[in-house]
Amino acid sequence: MAARQSRADSRGLSGCCSSSTLMLPLSESPPRREAPRGTDVGDTPLDHLSHQWRGLQPAPPLRSGASVLLSSARAWPIPLSGIITFSFPLQQCWVLPHRLRALPRGRAPERQRRNTMAKLDPETFSFHFCNLEFANGRNCSYLCYQVEGRLSGSPGLSEQGVFVNEVCGDTRRHAELCFLDWFHERLSPDEYYHVTWFISWSPCSYCAREVADFLKQHRNVKLSIFAARLYYYRDHVQGLRSLCSRGAQLAIMFFWDFRYCWDNFVHNSGRPFIPWKKINVNSDLLATKLEDILKNPMEKLDAETFSLHFLNMEFVYGRNCSYLCYQVEGRLSGSPGLFEQGVFVNEVCGDTGSHAELCFLDWFHERLSPDEYYHVTWFISWSPCSYCAREVAEFLKWHRNIKLSILAARLYYCRDHEQGLRSLCNSGAQLAIMFYRDFRYCWDNFVYHHGRHFIPWENINVNSRLLATKLEDILK
């Protein structure tokens, strides 16, 4: 009791209350205020709970000497003057209902942990689903879902709702993972489900891998994803491709999709959906970008991806993908001209992953002619690993009509990487390090730069000379 009283005093509560009194100010009940996001209900100020007294329920009788103390001077300072005392019999003390009781730190109440909502308000939908190419201030991800199939505890064969990013305790989860937790507890292995997501942001790389793994383990679930915007983050291309490799269908939302969401997931009060300016123009642009991401090869890279993955520092972290910009001089099967270019990236398909070099070889092998001479140039973010280097060397050994030039932004240090690079040189490939002029050439020919000029980063040629010296030492 002394400890409780000390805590109350430290929070600014003047005076004390006896074992059977609850002290409140004489002033009118404070206005309702929403508790901050991420705040446990046990930390909710008294002024937030004051409007819920009608929900109080009688508690079991307390032992003699027990006491109840409520205070929240942090949000509701209580002066010494103007205090009214309510006396409650000890045998009829009142406590908060179970759904409002304090929980241990780091744990959220059930309604917050299972954060599905019935519908969105119109302003939230219009702001967070606006399909701008680059949208600022949209730090939450909203997911409108429809599940076709009988879920445990559901009276019908269809269910829908809305999930949003969750903040509870020390963990933060995106809406996709909140949905999977909720869905996993209710699905049946004997039922077939078709799940549709209308989502404000496309899944990040981490969520995409988690969803892909979920689909791998649940073959009875079909997932269709319609995204209002593309989420550009580290390895986002890799994540979206892993989703497609597991059978998920990805698409960009168009006018009719936004209108469908408005009619089914928004408290619209009978108002029709009014599209914002350039809604379908933006969708066309995003759909083209998504198409480039999901196909291998891509036509071009976005500027942020190029700057991140082609940065030529000696040691970099977080670049787990390998990007390969290629040019082929020579007549390929199905090509209208004598020149073709594009971009390959690491591929995840099934249970195997192929580096960009092997993805290119698979594509190139099907289109080359034994009677044609080809000059192939690679601008690659990482030099080939030892395994890829041996595979490329073997490919060149069997195809003498191909000349290969490789310019690498960085050297890939792994077991036997030196031996792999030497085997490439012995097969006739030309290896070099990219310098400023090469990065600028890639920017002009393989990047969606929207007319912007290439701006070199600090020490770009200093780094290149250092890497070129290391490569020279390896090959001599």
Of the candidates 175, 227, 208, 222, the one whose C-alpha atom is nearest the C-alpha of residue 348 is 208
Query: Helices marked H in 167-302 — which ranges?
Result: 175-184, 205-217, 236-245, 255-265, 279-294
Kind of pairing, strands 94-95 and 158-164? unpaired
Burial class (CB in 10 A: 0-12, 13-18, 19+), 310: buried
Rounded to the nearest 5°, which phi and psi values hold at 463? -60, -40
| Residues in the chain, overall count | 476
Contact call for residues 333 and 368 (beta carbons, < 8 A)? yes
Residue matched to tokens 């099934």: 350
CA dihedral 399, 401, 405, 411 (to 10 degrees): 10
Of the candidates 312, 438, 443, the one whose C-alpha atom is nearest the C-alpha of residue 383 is 312
What is the C-alpha separation between 309 and 327, in angstroms, rounded?
19
Kind of pairing, strands 447-448 and 430-433? unpaired
What is the C-alpha separation between 195 and 227, in angstroms, rounded?
14
Of the candidates 324, 376, 332, the one whose C-alpha atom is nearest the C-alpha of residue 354 is 324
Type of residue found at 314: E
Catalogue the active-site residues: 357
Residue matched to tokens 């549709």: 196
Of the candidates 389, 336, 401, 408, the one whose C-alpha atom is nearest the C-alpha of residue 365 is 401
What is the C-alpha separation between 470 and 467, in angstroms, rounded?
5
What is the C-alpha separation between 75 and 72, in angstroms, rounded?
6
Of the candidates 58, 85, 83, 63, the one whose C-alpha atom is nearest the C-alpha of residue 73 is 83
